[in-house]
Amino acid sequence: MDFKESTGLYLIAGGVIAFVLAQSIFFLVKAWKQGEKLGIDKKKLRNTITSSAVFTIPSALSVLATVIVLAPSLGLVIPWVRLSVIGNLLYETKAAGDAMASLGQEGGITSTITDPAIFAGVAWVMTLGICFSLVILPFVAKPLHKKVLNLGKKEENKEETTEKKEKKSGGIAGFIDLLTPAVFIGLIGAFVARAIAGKGKPETFGDGAGVLSLITLVVAVGASLILEFVAKKFKIAWLEPFVMPIGMIIAMVIAVVAYNVLPPELAVLEWRG
Amino acid sequence: MRKNKTEKSYFDRVHGWGRISSVTALCVLIMFPVSICLYLGVWPSLSGVMSGLLKLVPLYWTLAVIEVLIYTPMLGAGGTYLSFVTGNITNLKLPCAIGAMENAKVKANSEEGEVISTIAIATSSIVTTIIIALGVLVFKPFLPAFTNSELLMPAFKQVQPALFGALAAGYFSKHWKISVFPIVVMVGILFVAPTLDAGTLLIPGIIASVLGAFTMWKLKWVK
Chain B residue with Cα closest to A150: B109
For B15, the closest of A23, A101, A142 (CB atoms) is A142
Please check whether residue B24 is in contact with residue A19, taking contact to mean a CB–CB distance below 8 angstroms.
yes
Mutate to test the interface with A, among B128, B140, B146, B187 (most CBs of A within 10 A): B128
CA angle B157, B162, B168 (to 5 degrees): 145
User: Do residue B168 and residue A192 have CB atoms under 8 angstroms apart?
Assistant: yes
User: Do residue B21 and residue A26 have CB atoms under 8 angstroms apart?
Assistant: yes
**In a domain? residue B206:** yes
The mean predicted confidence, pLDDT, of chain A is: 84
**A60-79 pLDDT, tens per residue?**
887 887 787 677 778 888 88
User: Do residue B92 and residue A185 have CB atoms under 8 angstroms apart?
Assistant: no
pLDDT value, residue B97? 93
**pLDDT at residue A126 greater than cutoff 50:** yes
Of B137, B97, B223, B64, nearest to A31 by C-alpha is: B97
- Please, what's the b/e burial string for B98-116 (b: 16 or more CB within 10 A of its CB; e: otherwise)? bbbbbbbebbbbbbbbbbb
Q: CB-based contact (8 Å) between B180 and chain A?
A: no
Which range in A54-58, A86-90, A217-221 is most confidently predicted, on average pLDDT?
A217-221
**B205 confidence band (pLDDT: 50, 70, 90):** very high
Chain B residue with Cα closest to A130: B60
If you compute the radius of gyration of chain B from its CA atoms, what whole number of angstroms results? 21
**pLDDT at residue B135 greater than cutoff 60:** yes
For B48, the closest of A103, A155, A177 (CB atoms) is A103
Domain that holds residue B204: 175-223
**B108 confidence band (pLDDT: 50, 70, 90):** confident
**pLDDT at residue B2 greater than cutoff 50:** no
**pLDDT at residue A175 greater than cutoff 80:** no
**In a domain? residue B159:** no
**pLDDT at residue B17 greater than cutoff 50:** yes
**B68 confidence band (pLDDT: 50, 70, 90):** confident
Q: Which residues lie closer than 8 Å to A84 by C-beta, 6 or more apart? A: A16, A17, A20, B86, B87, B128, B129, B132, B133
**A141-150 pLDDT, tens per residue?**
999 888 877 7
**B187 confidence band (pLDDT: 50, 70, 90):** very high
Q: What is the mean pLDDT of residues B2-20?
A: 75
Helix residue ranges per DSSP H, A7-88: 7-37, 42-74, 77-84
For B162, the closest of A51, A122, A216 (CB atoms) is A216
pLDDT value, residue B208? 95
Q: What crossing angle do the helices spanning A89-102 and A77-84 adopt, rounded to 10°?
A: 140
pLDDT value, residue A243? 86
Q: What crossing angle do the helices spanning A42-74 and A77-84 adopt, rounded to 10°?
A: 150
pLDDT value, residue A203? 65
User: Do residue B99 and residue A178 have CB atoms under 8 angstroms apart?
Assistant: no
Q: How many CB atoms lie within 10 A of CB A196?
A: 20
**pLDDT at residue A11 greater than cutoff 80:** yes
**In a domain? residue B187:** yes
Number of structural domains (chain B) is: 1
Of B125, B60, B24, B126, nearest to A138 by C-alpha is: B24
**A89 confidence band (pLDDT: 50, 70, 90):** low
pLDDT value, residue B125? 95
Of A131, A59, A191, A50, nearest to B190 by C-alpha is: A191
CA atoms of B57 and B41, how far apart (whole Å): 27
Q: CB-based contact (8 Å) between B64 and chain A?
A: yes
Q: In Å, how far is A256's CA from the nearest CA of chain B?
A: 5
User: In chain A, positions 160-199, which contact chain B (CB-CB < 8 Å)?
Assistant: 174-175, 177-199
Q: CB-based contact (8 Å) between B3 and chain A?
A: no
CA atoms of A49 and B119, how far apart (whole Å): 7
**A155 confidence band (pLDDT: 50, 70, 90):** low
Q: What is the mean pLDDT of residues A87-111?
A: 75
Q: In Å, how far is A218's CA from the nearest CA of chain B?
A: 7
**In a domain? residue B72:** no
The mean predicted confidence, pLDDT, of chain B is: 87
Helix residue ranges per DSSP H, A103-242: 116-130, 132-156, 158-169, 176-197, 211-233
CA angle A110, A116, A120 (to 5 degrees): 85
**B1 confidence band (pLDDT: 50, 70, 90):** very low
User: Do residue A193 and residue B90 have CB atoms under 8 angstroms apart?
Assistant: no
